[in-house]
Amino acid sequence: MFFRDRCRREAMAAGLAGWARNLPDGRVEVVAEGEPEAVERLQRWCRQGSSQAEVTSVEALDEEPEGLSGFSTC
């Protein structure tokens, strides 16, 4: 299973809204909104990723919520 889809599943299980997309340089950008504990749970998952992922770093930024609904992969 690919990182973005697994991330989407993890986010939905945590009750988060947002999206995950591939960037041209090979990185994945994830935006997630929801309860702080759920966002932290997704951040922890992102640091490890799926069994087939190679995660080298995670950068987390706090931003104002946009009022997103659902979680998609772009």
Catalytic sites, residue numbers: 4, 22
Q: In which residue are the tokens 């041209």 written?
A: 24
Pairing of strands 28-33, 17-22: antiparallel
| Residue 39 exposure: Cα atoms within 13 Å on the Cβ side | 15
